[in-house]
Amino acid sequence: MWVCISENIDVKTILKNMLESLLNVTTDENLSLDNLKSNLHQNLSGRKYLLILDEIWNESHHKWIELRTYLMCGAEDSKILVSTRSKTMAQTMVVSDPCVFNGLTSQESRGLLTNIVTYGNKVEGVNQTLESIGKKIVEK
């Protein structure tokens, strides 16, 4: 399951998004929290899963504890991978073995962008306009 977590997302929406990712279906917007919990429990019970919670910003310890209780029904080897830019959030979630990634240098970013734009082919004499646009993209 892969769920992107926005800054002000609530537990009900997270559960809904988890179910949609797990079942590859769109769920009813009007499902109650209890129905979502029951459906998630039914589909995860005893099964091994990998849940990716991407871009977590909300540092609410309470919200994480609540969400975690709904995930305890899976198999013992189930894993949750969390991506966040907030060290506080990583500590709040009691992350084991955190991996800290540094961003690419400007040169690495330009190289990656060039590789993507040219489909990996060597291109002689890149247009100055394209080079200028690429530099602006990399700066962002």
Rounded average pLDDT over 89-116: 75
pTM: 0.65
Rounded average pLDDT over 60-86: 82
pLDDT, position 34: 93
Distance CA(71)–CA(40), nearest Å, equals 8
| pLDDT mean across residues, the chain | 81
| Long-range own/partner contacts, residues 74-77 (CB < 8 A, 24 or more apart) | 74/44, 74/45, 74/46, 74/47, 74/48, 74/49, 75/46, 75/47, 75/48, 75/49, 77/48
Q: Does residue 32 surpass a pLDDT of 90?
A: yes
Distance CA(95)–CA(98), nearest Å, equals 6
pLDDT, position 88: 76
Tell me whether residue 83 is exposed, middle or buried, using C-beta atoms within 10 angstroms of its C-beta: 0 to 12, 13 to 18, 19 or more.
middle
pLDDT, position 74: 83
Confidence band, pLDDT 50/70/90 cuts, at residue 87:
confident
Distance CA(102)–CA(66), nearest Å, equals 31
Q: Does residue 115 surpass a pLDDT of 80?
A: no
Q: Cα separations (Å) of 118 from 105, 114, 137?
A: 20, 6, 16
